[in-house]
Amino acid sequence: MTSSDPLLDPVDSESTTNKPASDVVAADTPSVESAPPVESAQPSVDRSRRSWKTPLVIVGTAAAVAGVVALVVTGWTGLSDAHRRIGADLATAEQRLAVVDRGVLSGTTAASDTQKIAAGLTSLDLSSFADANSLAALGKATAAADTRLTAAARQKHTAVDVAQASLFWPWDILVDSERMKRGLASTNADAAESRRTITGLRDSAKEVEKSGLAVATEVGKSLPSVLGAYPSARNTARDELHRASDVLRVPYWDSADTDVASYLHAVDDLRSTQEAELAEKQGPLLANRQAAEEFARSISGGVMLDFDWADIVIGYGDGDSMAGTAQDTWYTPDEVYSTITLTNSVAALWNDGSDRSQSLVAHEVGHAIHPKCFGIYPDDEATEELWATAWSISWGHTSDANGTQAYGRPADSLIATAATCR
């Protein structure tokens, strides 16, 4: 059956298989055009997505702010920690500087004490007792030490304030940190300067002490020449000078100035006693008295001898009679001392060619030297005069003034023994 109604027309199979159903609806069913397209549901989908992105943005922004805050706090904390560390380093450096500066004060005191001793030495007239070069070296050393002491006295260090407390703003912390860094560098530089000062003071003091001790030693070594210049001085003064010289053999710095002064005082005493002795011996017999004393010392074996002269000794001395004594003898393992008294007649007959004066003087020296030889002939009061006579004979003095006139001739064996005592 044929119909003109399109809805009743048979559908072409190819059309139905090659066109989508929607196309068919759009072409054959007009009412479908008013229906919303499939895409009309899309706006509702977009609103749904914006609804969960907004919290993410808020959360992200908050996280960023929190990160910035954390960074600021971390930086702030780092600045504060660095500020505290610099402050601690500065405080430590200031403490060390204080210790070193106390060392400067101690070194200054020690150097000043050394200078006082050196000043005591240089105030003495040592030109006759020490080499000019040694004295010049001491003067140069003390001048250098004075320069060091002056520089040390002028050295001043200003303490740097430690870290300021309760700083809050970063720029304030930075400024104070830079201030303390400069202070730390300055404090360390001051400490280095103080250490150099200590070293300089110590070295200059050592040089002063070294040169001063050299001078003191030279003064002590002048003993032989000084003694030779005063042959008539009393042995008490000579012994005093010996002892003063012994101290200067290995001088001690802390008393070097006073020890050298004591030596010079002993020299003055030596000079004074010689002047007194020469005044006592003045007169026409002076030369012969000095000759007799020199002879006695030449055979005394180092025994210290003093001499007194008188007109009468133990009842003798008139005319051509003569006599002598050896008294006040004392001895130690190292020293023997005695005072020999002779009549003026011994000096008057010194050059008469008889050997009497020389024989008597040798007899008295035999008494004085005996303590040196107790090991070969013990002290024996009963034979003491025979010993002295034998000792005079052992030197070849045959005049009966050697003791034989008063005490008889000693045994040849004793004379031989006495010959070994020198």
Mean of the pLDDT values across residues 198-207? Answer: 94
Distance of CA 115 to the CA centre of its chain: 13
121 domain residue, yes or no: yes
- Scan for tokens 């000078």, then name that residue: 241
Regarding whether 114 and 133 lie in a shared domain, the answer is: yes
Q: What are phi and psi of 105, to 5 degrees?
A: -60, -45
- Judge whether residue 416 has pLDDT over 50: yes
Regarding whether 133 and 178 lie in a shared domain, the answer is: yes
Regarding whether 257 and 301 lie in a shared domain, the answer is: no
The two beta strands, 324-331 and 336-343, are antiparallel
26 domain residue, yes or no: no
- Is residue 343 within 8 A of residue 314, CB to CB? The reply is no
Q: What is the pLDDT of residue 371?
A: 95
**Token digits of residue 193:** 């300067």
Pairwise pLDDT comparison (300 vs 9), residue with the higher score: 300
Which of 282, 304, 329 is the endpoint of a domain?
282
In angstroms, the CA 351 to CA 288 distance is 8
Q: Residue-wise over 5-27: b if at least 16 C-beta within 10 A, else e? A: eeeeeeeeeeeeeeeeeeeeeee
173 domain residue, yes or no: yes
Q: What is the pLDDT of residue 164?
A: 62
In angstroms, the CA 342 to CA 311 distance is 8
Which ranges in 123-232 belong to alpha helices (H)?
Answer: 132-154, 170-221, 223-229
Measured in residues, the chain has a length of 422
- Residue 183 — very low, low, confident or very high, per pLDDT cuts 50/70/90? confident
Regarding whether 289 and 383 lie in a shared domain, the answer is: yes
- Please give the biggest Cα pair distance in the chain: 215
Q: Residue-wise over 66-77: b if at least 16 C-beta within 10 A, else e? A: eeeeeeeeeeee
Mean per-residue pLDDT over the chain, rounded: 84
Regarding whether 169 and 145 lie in a shared domain, the answer is: yes
Number of domains in the chain: 3
322 domain residue, yes or no: yes
- Boundaries of domain holding 260: 222-282
In angstroms, the CA 343 to CA 323 distance is 6
- Residue 76 — very low, low, confident or very high, per pLDDT cuts 50/70/90? low
Regarding whether 193 and 146 lie in a shared domain, the answer is: yes
Pairwise pLDDT comparison (254 vs 14), residue with the higher score: 254
125 domain residue, yes or no: yes
The two beta strands, 304-310 and 336-343, are parallel
Task: List pLDDT tens digits, range 301-354.
Answer: 999 999 999 999 999 999 999 999 999 888 888 889 999 999 999 999 999 999
- Is residue 100 within 8 A of residue 191, CB to CB? The reply is yes
402 domain residue, yes or no: yes
pTM: 0.67
Mean of the pLDDT values across residues 167-185? Answer: 86
Q: What is the pLDDT of residue 232?
A: 87
2 domain residue, yes or no: no
**Token digits of residue 23:** 């196309």
Pairwise pLDDT comparison (44 vs 407), residue with the higher score: 407
Regarding whether 204 and 251 lie in a shared domain, the answer is: no
Regarding whether 289 and 275 lie in a shared domain, the answer is: no
Task: List pLDDT tens digits, range 210-246.
Answer: 999 999 999 999 999 999 999 889 988 998 999 999 9
Regarding whether 383 and 306 lie in a shared domain, the answer is: yes
Q: What is the pLDDT of residue 58?
A: 53
In angstroms, the CA 415 to CA 50 distance is 147
Which of 197, 214, 231 is the endpoint of a domain?
214
In angstroms, the CA 38 to CA 128 distance is 136
**Token digits of residue 202:** 């110590």
In angstroms, the CA 204 to CA 163 distance is 39
- Is residue 360 within 8 A of residue 402, CB to CB? The reply is yes
Regarding whether 257 and 172 lie in a shared domain, the answer is: no
- Is residue 263 within 8 A of residue 220, CB to CB? The reply is yes
75 domain residue, yes or no: yes
283: left (phi over 0), alpha (psi -120 to 50) or beta: left
% of residues, the chain, pLDDT over 70: 81
Highest mean pLDDT of the ranges 15-24, 34-43, 66-75, 126-135: 126-135
Regarding whether 125 and 67 lie in a shared domain, the answer is: yes
Q: How far is CA 418 from CA 234, 358, 379, 392, in A?
A: 27, 17, 13, 9
- Scan for tokens 């009842």, then name that residue: 315
Regarding whether 382 and 276 lie in a shared domain, the answer is: no
Instruction: Calculate the CA dihedral of residues 197, 198, 203, 209 and round it to 10 degrees.
Output: 120
Which of 282, 310, 327 is the endpoint of a domain?
282
Mean of the pLDDT values across residues 36-52? Answer: 47
